[in-house]
Amino acid sequence: NLRGAGSGFGLARSTYHSGKTDDVRAVVRWLTRQAPGSPLALVGFSLGANLVLKLAAEAADEPLEGLDCVLAANPPLDLAACCRHLQRPENRLYDRNFVRLLRAEVRRLHDAFPALGPIDLSHIRNLYAFDEAYTAPRHGFTSAADYYARSSAGPLVPRIRVPGLVVHAEDDPFIPAEPFRAIEFPPQLALELIPSGGHLGYISRSRWQGDRRWLDARLATWLAARWRVNPWCRASAHDRATLAFAIRRAGTP
């Protein structure tokens, strides 16, 4: 989970946003200290996919030890375009629901940390207004437009030097496909645009490894081919616990 999300709520006063790669970089550095010399793959989904692509691009100028490849599913490469997409009549239900959840999370955060001060977002009705009123000023951006421009991974994708895979569905109700076609992907970063799949849905007619949801299998087989390993071996309880500990400890308040 990202900073303050899920079980991480209450561990930090600050919140995540679509371009906040510092936390991911901290986790990567912690992991490389625990397993020096091991290759590392950045794997992200949705907003997390934007983060890992942005971090991989930043690594061209600020190298990340051990970074071997990057895999991203349904990344919002153009945040402004995503915001406009959500405002289309057929998607406004999603937009309103996002804002309802975000308002509740902000109230919960400010209740947990009274020093953050009072907050009233009851008048906010769409994601753009939320980012204009809260996300942008809270994280040092001058406006929602400034936040979108500086946090979108799309313009940075041509700078990515490591190999990787990007998967996106053309019928995603949150993230339009047009920016993917407009971006010049480097040759080592494969783009797979799927006609249908929604937002991280990807249901197949036949079962694959006991499931009809094929996205995880696609990413695992790509990575297995890259690293020449068996993609279906289970992680040990110790490995899962170590990763969970890294995620909890790597961030700062």
Q: Which of 97, 125, 151 is the last residue of a domain?
A: 151
6 with 117, same domain: the answer is no
Identify whether the C-beta of residue 217 lies closer than 8 Å to the C-beta of residue 209.
yes
Ramachandran assignment for 199, one of left (phi > 0), alpha (psi -120 to 50 degrees), beta (any other): beta
Give the model's confidence band at 246: pLDDT under 50 very low, under 70 low, under 90 confident, else very high: very low
Per the structure, the complete domain to which residue 246 belongs is given by: 1-78+156-253
Look at residue 193 and give its three-state secondary structure.
strand
pLDDT, tens digit (0-9, with 9 covering 90-100), for 81-116: 999 999 999 999 999 999 999 999 999 999 999 999
Which CATH number does the domain housing residue 170 bear? 3.40.50.1820
CA distance 55 to 61: 10
Give the CA radius of gyration of the chain: 19
Q: Which residues pair with 165 in a beta bridge?
A: 71, 190
Q: What is the pLDDT of residue 245?
A: 47
170 with 224, same domain: the answer is yes
Q: Which residues fall within 8 angstroms of residue 53, CB to CB, at 6 or more apart?
A: 44, 70, 72, 75, 77, 153, 156, 157, 160, 166
Residue bearing the bigger pLDDT, 242 or 231:
231
134 with 190, same domain: the answer is no
60 with 92, same domain: the answer is no
CA distance 136 to 83: 14
pLDDT, tens digit (0-9, with 9 covering 90-100), for 113-149: 999 999 999 999 999 999 999 999 999 999 999 999 9
118 with 60, same domain: the answer is no
190 with 114, same domain: the answer is no
Dihedral over alpha carbons 229, 231, 237, 239 (to 10 degrees): 50
67 with 114, same domain: the answer is no
Q: What is the value of pTM for the model shown? A: 0.87
164 with 233, same domain: the answer is yes
Identify whether the C-beta of residue 15 lies closer than 8 Å to the C-beta of residue 3.
yes
34 to 9, 16, 44, 133: CA distances (angstroms): 25, 25, 21, 40
55 with 110, same domain: the answer is no
Q: What is the pLDDT of residue 7?
A: 77
pLDDT, tens digit (0-9, with 9 covering 90-100), for 184-213: 999 999 999 999 999 999 987 766 555 677
pLDDT exceeds cutoff 80 at 249: no
Q: Which of 136, 151, 166 is the last residue of a domain?
A: 151
Q: Which of 151, 172, 207 is the last residue of a domain?
A: 151
Closest-CA residue to 157 (of 182, 120, 130): 182
Q: What is the pLDDT of residue 15?
A: 86
pLDDT, tens digit (0-9, with 9 covering 90-100), for 42-82: 999 999 999 999 999 999 999 999 999 999 999 999 999 99
Q: Which residues fall within 8 angstroms of residue 46, CB to CB, at 6 or more apart?
A: 73, 74, 75, 76, 174, 199, 200
> What is the Cβ-side half-sphere exposure of residue 234, based on CA atoms within 13 angstroms?
4
71 with 165, same domain: the answer is yes
Overall number of domains in the chain: 2
40 with 106, same domain: the answer is no
60 with 131, same domain: the answer is no
